[in-house]
Amino acid sequence: MGQNSGRSNQILVLGHLDTVYELGTIRKTPFRAWRGRAFGPGVFDMKGGAILALFAVDALAHVTRLPGRRIVFLWTSDEETGSKSSREVIEYEARRSAAVLVLEPAHGPEGKLKTRRKATGTAELMITGRAAHAGLDPESGVNAVHELALQTARLMRLNHPRRGITVNPTIAQGGTRSNVIPAEACLTIDLRAETLADMRRIERKLKTLRPILPGARLAVRGGFSRPPLERRASAALFSQAQKLALRLGFSVEECSVGGGSDGNFTAALGVPTLDGLGAVGDGAHSPDEQVIISALPQRAALLAALLATL
């Protein structure tokens, strides 16, 4: 099962309780069940996963099939904002675990398990130029917005979709008045990479950025905040999940996704990690967020089987 097997007596079941919605959203879009689906803020990402975990353990306890290893449930409260305060706890418990089962939502209507996740992060490029009158003396200024545009074109050349590398400038700000050469500008950049090697390569590229316009200055803040979940961390667990699903009368497939989860942290430590074991549904982070009710028992059974055989 990986480098942690044999030296740990616990299984970590990982998830989060927070959602992306504003306070009071539940009053506008309350929980409801309709035509075989349950709707409500956070039901898919990831209240459904937390419910599955509880039912899976209750079922094992009922038939006296609880595993010999200790089961640790860790439900955090800041995953959607980057897990800044919970990362230390997640990594502490992961290091003590033989395996980590992540109850984030499944992918697609087929309920695919997530065996790869990209490294994710956000960087800011702070640009300093020199202000001048745009009509009387523009040549004496250094246009920070112009530098921003040139850097944007440079950054776009770092993209490599076939390798899963995306470097996307997403927010551009600069200037004060239409008749003033802007002295400052800021570019926010979304960063994603499939492998640790590519993540580090992009980080090096960001650190070596230099100004293009004479007189301009650059500073880079931020970077990758979650390492990738690479398939080598999930392969053995996924194979086991496939075999167990077949015994239960259904099949499961795997997929790679661009978003990160707390499973990225545990996989980067070398702990076997399988993600996407949560509910099957659609509409995460939207007013139409929903789960397929009939799929819940099946997912709980798969989780129970994994827990019983690890």
Q: What's the pLDDT tens digit per position in 74-91?
A: 999 999 999 999 999 999
Of 221, 224, 211, nearest to 148 by C-alpha is: 211
The pLDDT of residue 31 is: 96
Mean pLDDT of 288-301: 97
Mean pLDDT of 255-284: 97
The pLDDT of residue 8 is: 79
The gap from C-alpha 228 to its chain's centroid, in whole angstroms, comes to 9
The one-letter amino acid at 208: T
Q: Is residue 117 over pLDDT 70?
A: yes
| CA gap 254, 277 in Å, rounded | 11
Residue 68 is given by DSSP the state S
Mean pLDDT of 39-57: 97
Mean pLDDT of 140-169: 97
The pLDDT of residue 6 is: 47
The gap from C-alpha 240 to its chain's centroid, in whole angstroms, comes to 24
Say if CB 91 and CB 266 are below 8 A apart: yes
Of 310, 236, 232, 235, nearest to 270 by C-alpha is: 232
Q: Is 10 exposed, middle or buried (0-12, 13-18, 19+ CB in 10 A)?
A: middle
Angle of helix 235-248 relative to helix 296-309, nearest 10 degrees? 120
Decide the pairing of beta strands 70-76 and 10-16.
parallel
pLDDT digits (tens, 9 = 90+) for 167-190: 999 999 999 999 999 999 999 999
